[in-house]
Amino acid sequence: MKRLALFALVVTAGCATVPPTNVHQPMSARPSPRMEATGGNGAIYQAGVGRPLFEDRRARYVGDTITVKITESTTASTKSNNKLDKSNTATASVTGVVKLSPSLLNQVKPDDTLFVFARSTEGSRMPLAILRKRVKDLPIQFTLDDSTAMSPAGSLSKADRVVVGARISKTGNAMPEKGDLAGSSAPVAVGARDVAIVIKDIVKQ
């Protein structure tokens, strides 16, 4: 009887034992640690805040707004310069020679002033180009062009035809005076060469 009771106790103890399991606790994921917000203390710099004290408006961090500005500019011009300059400064000159008539040799002195000039056949009689020499330089080869112009407003290259003249002045005055000796050519085109002028006339007034 005692043996039967002992056997029953062993069987009962074996049924009460729980077998091991492959499932382990805990059954849910561990939550991330919560960041505790720090309270403001009134200071300009706050711990844990990554913004610098001074910065421009450029984006630096994830979440910053970026503005993209696209500007298109189109410029077109249909203006053209078709101006044609008909003047030719390379040929805008007159060359020639000035001589004194033998009949007037006794009326001049070597240091008397000699003017050689060209004036337009139209408009003002103001000389377009002028040279100043001495009687002792006669006979003289001359070249009148824009480099001998009296003013930029009236140059030889702007004229079509001119009269070339020569005058001897005892006073050196640029304006003609009574007693001056003078001579001139017929009208010639600007660009004329070998224009011959003989001083043979006496200015009467």
Contact 165, 117 (CB under 8 A): yes
Is residue 160 domain-resident? yes
pTM above 0.85, yes or no: no
Task: Assess if residue 2 is contained within a domain.
Answer: no
Residue 44, domain member (yes or no): no
- Residue 151 falls within a domain, yes or no? yes
pLDDT tens figures, 135-163:
999 999 999 999 999 887 788 998 999 99
For residue 87, the model assigns a pLDDT of 47
Please give the radius of gyration of the chain, using alpha carbons only, rounded to the nearest integer: 57
Alpha carbon distance 186, 107 (integer Å): 25
Residue appearing with tokens 């561990």: 30
Per-residue pLDDT tens over the stretch 167-202: 999 999 988 999 999 999 999 999 999 999 999 999
Listed in sequence order, the residues at least 6 apart from 31 whose beta carbon sits closer than 8 Å to its beta carbon are none
Q: In the chain, how many domains are there?
A: 1
Residues 121 and 70: their CA atoms lie apart, in Å, by: 65
- The greatest distance separating any two alpha carbons of the chain, rounded to the nearest whole angstrom, comes to 190
What is the full DSSP assignment across 18-77?
PPP-S--S--SPPPPPPPPPPPP-S-SS-TT----SS--S---STT--------------
DSSP 8-state secondary structure symbol assigned to residue 151: B
What amino acid is encoded at 133 in this protein?
A: K
Task: Give domain status of residue 55, yes or no.
Answer: no
Share of the chain above pLDDT 70, in %: 62
Q: Domain containing 118: what range? A: 94-202
In angstroms, rounded to a whole number, what is the distance separating the alpha carbons of residues 148 and 156? 9
User: What pLDDT, in 10s, does the model give residues 53-111?
Assistant: 566 667 766 667 777 788 877 777 666 665 545 444 456 899 999 999 999 999 999 99
Is position 145 within any domain? yes
Residue 4: the pLDDT is 60
- Specify if 26 maps to a domain: no
Residue 135 lies inside a defined structural domain of this protein: yes
